[in-house]
Amino acid sequence: MRKSIAVDMDGVIADEETQLLTWYEKHYGVKIHPHELIGRKEEDVVPERDAYNKFSATPGYFRTTPVMPGAIEAVKKLMENYDVYIVSAAMQYPHSLPEKLGWLNEHFPFISWRNIIFCGDKSIIGTDYMIDDHIKNLDFFKGKTIMFNAFHNVSFNHHQRVNNWDEVLGLMAGV
Amino acid sequence: MRKSIAVDMDGVIADEETQLLTWYEKHYGVKIHPHELIGRKEEDVVPERDAYNKFSATPGYFRTTPVMPGAIEAVKKLMENYDVYIVSAAMQYPHSLPEKLGWLNEHFPFISWRNIIFCGDKSIIGTDYMIDDHIKNLDFFKGKTIMFNAFHNVSFNHHQRVNNWDEVLGLMAGV
């Protein structure tokens, strides 16, 4: 039987870090280099603590997030051998639901609506694998976890880390 | 540890049958009594096979569905002893996402966004229990299944049937 993989959106197939820094520069006039973020907590990603929440509540923020490099080709490749589900904790920002669906339809049109899940808490997701950047999601997952590298997870090493989509493909080809 | 329950929306906490018959009478001028539906397949629920799809695609259809009798009190009661998640296969109709969220916020404001899941296929839901009216969802669920009575499932007896929310409470109090 084919195994199933839950793939997160923000920080995994969507390049949330680039989007955040782009919007931050646009709205606050300050350019932050990605290297400066490494090891910061999410709430300290930029000096203004409410900036991320404000952006997340702004129409267009999720819809215009760039695609994570290599994600489209890698997800297509994974789908040859796995049932791939896109699982996004989108429920906190209701306006993001149609934006995220529009984003998926634009960039990942080969993903069926049957394989998309928008949720709050991810603890009830019962796939075999989960690829996510947040330990709050990975820690409560019952299957095999894969932690996609992000500035806020560099100090955690209790999940299998992958640094990019090439590493995901290498890992999943060997299991 | 508290057990978790996935509770379906349409046909379980939302009275989809009443909504369908109300809209059918309004748009087609024909009154169908609920008793006439018993044993029909979903696609034969009304003579015009595309009526349900047309209604489902119409803004306002999901948002104005009446609440299933007893559902609000029963879900509150279940939440005393279980982690209750609302799991709706909403992804086929993207416009229904904000409508269903608005409906939940109006009628079930005590359900946190953390406990709401909108999906396509429900096979990856990993709760301990699932209360649903569709065998297509129950048949692929790995936990304990509870089939909420509906006209289209009367001929299936391979899941525990409940006829109303009182019976759900009676059943879950005894497990």
**Whether pTM exceeds 0.80:** yes
Residue B58 tokens read as: 């119409």
Q: Into how many domains does chain B fold?
A: 2
A107, B6, B67, B155, B166 from A66: Cα distances, Å: 10, 33, 40, 49, 49
Looking at the fold, whether B72 and B155 belong to one and the same domain comes out as yes
Interface of A with B (CB under 8 A): 4, 6, 85, 91-92, 94-95, 97-98, 101, 112-121, 124-127, 142
Looking at the fold, whether A91 and A126 belong to one and the same domain comes out as yes
Looking at the fold, whether B28 and B104 belong to one and the same domain comes out as no
> Is the per-residue pLDDT at A133 higher than 90?
yes
Q: What residues in B contact A119, CB-CB < 8 Å?
A: 116-119
Domain encompassing residue B132: 3-15+66-173
Looking at the fold, whether A52 and A121 belong to one and the same domain comes out as no
Looking at the fold, whether B21 and B10 belong to one and the same domain comes out as no
- Cβ(B7)–Cβ(B57) below 8 Å: no
Whether residues B118 and A97 touch (CB distance < 8 A) is answered with: yes
Tokens 């509870």 appear where? B146
Angle at B167 between CA B111 and CA B42, to 5 degrees: 80
> Is the per-residue pLDDT at A144 higher than 90?
yes
Enter the ipTM. Answer: 0.92
- Rounded to the nearest angstrom, the minimum Cα separation between A128 and chain B is 9
Least confident of A43-52, A117-126, B150-159: A43-52
pLDDT, tens digit (0-9, with 9 covering 90-100), for A146-155 = 999 999 999 9
Residue B56 tokens read as: 């489902």
Looking at the fold, whether A157 and A83 belong to one and the same domain comes out as yes
Tokens 């009628």 appear where? B107
**pLDDT at residue number B32:** 94
What whole-number distance in Å separates Cα of residue A150 and Cα of residue A133? Answer: 6
Q: Does any domain span residue B61?
A: no
Whether residues A142 and B126 touch (CB distance < 8 A) is answered with: yes
**pLDDT at residue number A175:** 79
What whole-number distance in Å separates Cα of residue B161 and Cα of residue B167? Answer: 9
Q: Does any domain span residue B122?
A: yes
- Cβ(A146)–Cβ(A129) below 8 Å: yes
Q: Does any domain span residue B126?
A: yes
Looking at the fold, whether A83 and A158 belong to one and the same domain comes out as yes
Tokens 């409410």 appear where? A50
Rounded average pLDDT over A28-53? 90
Looking at the fold, whether B34 and B84 belong to one and the same domain comes out as no
Looking at the fold, whether B20 and B10 belong to one and the same domain comes out as no
**Residue A161 β-bridge partners:** A147
Looking at the fold, whether B25 and B7 belong to one and the same domain comes out as no
Residue of chain B whose alpha carbon sits nearest to that of A124: B126
- Rounded to the nearest angstrom, the minimum Cα separation between A117 and chain B is 4
For residue B45, give the nearest of B136, B133, B155, B151 by alpha carbon.
B151
Whether residues A127 and B124 touch (CB distance < 8 A) is answered with: yes
How many CA within 13 A on the CB side of residue B1?
A: 4
Rounded average pLDDT over A120-146? 96
| Average pLDDT along chain B, 175 residues, taken 10 residues at a time | 96 97 96 92 86 93 98 98 97 91 97 97 96 96 97 96 98 89
Q: Does any domain span residue B76?
A: yes
Q: In what order do the strands lie in the sheet with B116-118?
A: A160-162, A144-148, A129-132, A3-7, A82-88, A116-118, B116-118, B82-88, B3-7, B129-132, B144-148, B160-162
Q: What is the CATH number of the domain that holds B154?
A: 3.40.50.1000
Q: How far apart are the first and last CA of chain B?
A: 14
Q: Does any domain span residue B159?
A: yes
What whole-number distance in Å separates Cα of residue B91 and Cα of residue B32? Answer: 29
Least confident of A19-23, A39-43, B60-64, B149-153: A39-43
Looking at the fold, whether B100 and B165 belong to one and the same domain comes out as yes
pLDDT, tens digit (0-9, with 9 covering 90-100), for A93-104 = 888 999 999 999
> Is the per-residue pLDDT at A83 higher than 90?
yes
Angle between helices B165-173 and B71-78 (to 10 degrees): 20
B10 in catalytic set: yes
- Cβ(B132)–Cβ(B145) below 8 Å: yes
Whether residues A120 and B115 touch (CB distance < 8 A) is answered with: yes
**Residue B129 β-bridge partners:** B5, B144
Looking at the fold, whether A31 and A70 belong to one and the same domain comes out as no
